[in-house]
């Protein structure tokens, strides 16, 4: 399996940004199983002392994302991600599938948050068109711009 990462800045957070997406890993042109093994939420410029509640969810719709991220190869096996698309900055991240919240995490924006799977504990994106996993805000206290990143196997 080839390893890739995607990273980008989400739009500025605000009190109405609940369910706005930070970063998304979605099935690409060639549908294949994707294993998400790491994600990160971090401050961009102008970090502030604010609290956030984040949600990692599965969805079967893409939502509205403003920036396409070109995945970077991590292991040199493949120069181009054939099975995945990565997006950041959304106003509507997509509708989570019922009972599909994989993880919720609260953090201070200055500290950020990083999650890494134990071997065998990766989150899977099913090999079906439009299926995806996305990181979104559930609660936003501040107004700073934040970054998101995801790393996966395909």
Q: For 42-86, what is each residue's pLDDT tens digit?
A: 888 778 888 888 889 998 888 888 888 988 888 877 777 777 888
Residue 138 has pLDDT above 70, yes or no: yes
What are the boundaries of each domain within the chain? 3-153
Strands 21-27 and 132-140 come out as antiparallel
**What is the distance between the alpha carbons of residues 121 and 77, in angstroms, rounded to a whole number?**
23
Element (H, E) at 34: strand 34-43
Output the six-digit token pair for 50: 């604010």
Mean pLDDT in the chain?
85
Q: What is the pLDDT of residue 140?
A: 82
Q: For 103-134, what is each residue's pLDDT tens digit?
A: 999 988 888 899 999 999 999 998 888 889 99
Coil vs helix vs strand at 123: strand
- Cβ 23 vs Cβ 6: under 8 Å: yes
Task: Give the lowest-confidence range in 15-19, 39-43, 44-48.
Answer: 15-19
* Predicted confidence band of residue 145 (pLDDT cuts 50, 70, 90): confident
Residue 95 has pLDDT above 80, yes or no: no
The arithmetic mean of pLDDT across residues 132-137, rounded, is 90
Q: How would you class 80 by CB atoms within 10 Å of its CB: exposed for 0-12, middle for 13-18, buried for 19 or more?
A: exposed
Output the six-digit token pair for 152: 């996966």
> Would you give the end-to-end CA distance of the chain in angstroms?
5
Output the six-digit token pair for 60: 């079967």
117-to-40, 55, 103 alpha-carbon distances in Å: 12, 16, 12
């Amino acid at each position: 399996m080839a390893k890739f990462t995607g990273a980008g800045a989400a739009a500025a957070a605000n009190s109405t940004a609940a369910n706005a997406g930070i970063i998304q890993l979605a099935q690409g042109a060639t549908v294949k199983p994707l294993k998400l093994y790491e994600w990160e939420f971090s401050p961009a410029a102008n970090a502030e002392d604010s609290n956030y509640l984040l949600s990692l969810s599965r969805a079967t719709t893409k939502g509205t994302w403003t920036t396409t991220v070109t995945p970077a190869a991590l292991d040199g096996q493949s120069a181009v991600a054939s099975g995945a698309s990565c997006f950041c900055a959304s106003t509507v991240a997509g509708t989570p599938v019922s009972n599909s919240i994989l993880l919720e995490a609260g953090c201070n924006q200055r500290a950020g948050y990083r999650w890494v799977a134990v071997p065998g504990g990766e989150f899977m994106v099913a090999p079906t068109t439009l299926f995806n996993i996305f990181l979104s805000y559930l609660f936003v206290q501040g107004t700073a711009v934040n970054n998101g990143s995801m790393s996966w196997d395909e």
